[in-house]
Chain A
């Protein structure tokens, strides 16, 4: 019953009509599935240092004559299986991407609601902060927060806290877009009768914002969030590539690309190329899906 209803839904109809969306969705499912199920699916646990064998390091992919079927995509400089590392790495990349988007979403929606609903000085303050932040590239802000956190935190906790710090840094760098969108729609909604009615019957502002305004401004925000996931993954990869992201013993895709980069000259191309391809596929499919969602939800394009 529900499935049938879902099938009939506008969104589903538009999805069935878009081959790009279908391919993107399939790729996303493969990537996300592979990442989520990495501990069970991957041939090797790359984080278990005791299982690594240094003598197997730099094994080329299995189809090369020096390759080994045990390592389908070859191994890196420590003898880690590249396929397993990509799966585990994608897990970290996706996790950091999703968590930081969720964090920006919370921050941005709250700021936008407050600014749009109350207006006046609070609005001016929040929006000026947003303007200032918009004048810096997101990566710079993330680097700044990450750098400050690194100095502030004791050295021996760096590895444990690297991922939360990264999530906060990328999250902080991305809240502005949400705040601006939500503020705009909130200002429109605030004038509508249902909000005024709620006010007349004496509901508290917080309740009005959360239970009445929020559901009506959330649509565009979700579209932004989908596209933002891809951006966040790229930001994480960039930070890790620069060596300030996740620790080398728990590599994300960006870290893997950085490690492999050192060996490009010496001919061990597979260490960097495969994680690179994985990153491209992951980001591209999430992006295409986000694009399609934006078009499908846009009433003007229907």
Chain B
């Protein structure tokens, strides 16, 4: 197997160049998907026969929750790469993705609470799905705080990587919480093995929104990572030249 791409990935300059080329495409795709998805979901998808129009919150709630959880998995993978191969770019990815993941968890929790009021009659219940998502938010906070508290870059990379890996026990708990315990939360919307439980004209806009959220997540992540690379490599010649061209 050709491993040269893996070594290139370790080069900050290579990452900076290639991500700069990808960024506009992700941005255009993200904005277009979100625009089409929300207009479709808000105005054209049919009402839910039980929940009426409040179900339209699903079009942001589910994508945000999706990204929140996959972002955490990404953190853990970056943590393994950073620990095993000491790849600095993995540490950059871990540190830059954590705040976005926290924001997405926050959005999922908040829109879930707002959705809960007309549907369940309450903003919050301490049931398994909601509580495990709240724990995910605290895990993100922990990783961000730990990363900022340690000034030595290598120690900080190790500590945050370990915390990110240990925290993955929470992910299956979130996923299966709606099956393991009695809960107010409805079961999963996306299933790999089965046909979606909603009609196509409800489900397609949701798919667009999920893809749009992932695209915008990528945009934010690449922007943050590129900035962090510039900061960390500020003393090198290529960064000085890059910054000079930009000003």
Partners in one complex: no
